[in-house]
Amino acid sequence: MSANLMDLLQGSLSEGMIDQLSQQLGGANKQQTAAAASGIVTTLMGALAKNASSPEGAQALNNALERDHDGSVLDNIMDVFSGNTQSVNDRALNGSGILNHVLGDRQNGAVDMISKLSGLDSSKTGNLMSMLAPVVLGALGKAKQQQGLDVSGIASLLSGTVSTQKQQNPTMGLVARFLDQDGDGSIVDDVANMGMKILGGFLKRKK
């Protein structure tokens, strides 16, 4: 079950979608955009799992999914990024609002980490994170509907996803360390050492 959620997200990051995102970012480098997108998905998944590790956090996430995130954003994802959003409710597309809830005061630190990992300019990384946040919540909402998940089921899905990713994806270990830090401290040395490894691994998967 946990693998399906990341498969759904990585499947959404198609070559065509990366092209669309890089254009929306003003012609950003596609390899850097792809690497940043992968890092953003991993970071948001880790943050959601951390938030849902408490009963209150899991309940709040479940309420948000039931109210605003039914997964429909994934059905017309290219339209969403091109600005054709009539078929999706506004709250489901409010990337900055989602990030405030999910990352809080760690948002700038997360942008900095992903920017260094991918080589993408930090302002573009921040914009990309706002664009992708609704996609991550949409994937979780779709999994909730398809699998009939309740509050504990969502928390279990997220924790299982993170555990699986820690074994398969070195970025998740870095994300976990970042989220466990007090405040929004930097782990710049580790990020610099891992950056090209992450980029190379992601590009191999896309071939």
pLDDT at 205 over 70: no
pTM of the model: 0.86
Domain count, the chain: 1
CA 59/CA 19 separation, integer angstroms: 36
Q: What is the DSSP letter of 207?
A: -
CA 10/CA 159 separation, integer angstroms: 18
CA 109/CA 142 separation, integer angstroms: 29
Q: Are 188 and 117 in contact (CB under 8 A)?
A: no
Residue 23 burial (CB count, 10 A): 14
Residue 86's domain comprises: 2-206
pLDDT tens per residue, range 143-156:
999 899 999 999 99
pLDDT tens per residue, range 39-82:
999 999 999 999 999 999 999 999 999 999 988 888 877 767 76
DSSP 14-60: -HHHHHHHHHHTTS--HHHHHHHHHHHHHHHHHHHHHHTTSHHHHHH
